[in-house]
Amino acid sequence: IAGITQAPTSQILAAGRRMTLRCTQDMRHNAMYWYRQDLGLGLRLIHYSNTAGTTGKGEVPDGYSVSRANTDDFPLTLASAVPSQTSVYFCASSDSIHTEAFFGQGTRLTVV
Amino acid sequence: GQQVMQIPQYQHVQEGEDFTTYCNSSTTLSNIQWYKQRPGGHPVFLIQLVKSGEVKKQKRLTFQFGEAKKNSSLHITATQTTDVGTYFCAGDEWETSGSRLTFGEGTQLTVNP
């Protein structure tokens, strides 16, 4: 079934550790996004990529980095995790800019 | 930068009552999208509005885009328990670098049977 897959589903991480959240889509979508969701704050954009080879900063990029080496994959890396990065992370993709976004199932990350 | 505000944050209704959530943007939007997230789930696309003053319907759901393309609303007629979830609007503001979807905080709807 075509779609967007995130891994892991959940993770407990010690503060200071490095962590990469994986995101893969098989819909050949050009645009991909990473959001974090916190209670009362909705979905906030961390980083985005409008096409393979390019990335951009969203609303809350500090402490996170991304890469877009190919169309399908858009990993999100926390170089040195801090407790404030405890959140639910959603990866999304869209066929092109201005079209509907398809979301992955999310990764629940707890930094202790 | 662009801000998208959504009210109310929470809404509790009895089954059969109507429900409305409102979305306001600080800037003019190229389009607005609406998503629904069931408890424990991920956001799922409902609809996109593009034209000034546009109104679209999906069964009991009615979506409106304001004339100035800065506000929008979602109205559900005669709510059902299956409508439970959080409804998000997402404003799309065209930038030279491409699309930047900005989500509102969401309205969490609970429906009492």
* pLDDT averaged per 10 residues in sequence order, chain B, 113 residues: 88 97 94 95 96 97 97 98 97 68 92 95
Whole-number Å distance between alpha carbons of A46 and A89: 10
Binding-site residues on chain B for chain A (CB distance < 8 A): 1, 6, 9, 30-31, 33, 35, 41-45, 48, 88, 90, 92, 94, 97-106
What band does A96 get if pLDDT is binned at 50, 70 and 90? confident
For residue B9, the chain A residue with the least C-alpha distance is A40
Whole-number Å distance between alpha carbons of A69 and A66: 10
Q: What percent of chain A shows pLDDT beyond 70?
A: 96
Closest CA to B27 of B96, B97, B100: B100
Beta bridge partners of B6: B23
| pLDDT at position B98 | 60
Q: Tell me the pLDDT tens digit for each residue of A11-62.
A: 999 999 999 999 999 999 999 999 999 987 889 999 999 899 999 999 899 9
Backbone angles phi, psi at A102, to 5 degrees: -105, 130
CA B112, distance to chain mean position in Å, is 21
Whole-number Å distance between alpha carbons of A83 and B84: 31
| pLDDT at position A97 | 65
Is A64 within 8 Å of A5 (Cβ atoms)? no
Q: Which two tokens stand for residue B95?
A: 């930038």
Backbone angles phi, psi at B112, to 5 degrees: -90, 125
| pLDDT at position B82 | 97
User: Is B105 within 8 Å of A41 when comparing Cβ atoms?
Assistant: yes
Closest CA to A30 of A68, A77, A75: A68
Closest CA to A55 of A75, A28, A36: A75
What 3-state class would DSSP assign to B83? Answer: helix
Beta bridge partners of A6: A23
Whole-number Å distance between alpha carbons of B102 and A32: 14
For residue A58, the chain B residue with the least C-alpha distance is B100
| pLDDT at position B99 | 61
| pLDDT at position A42 | 87
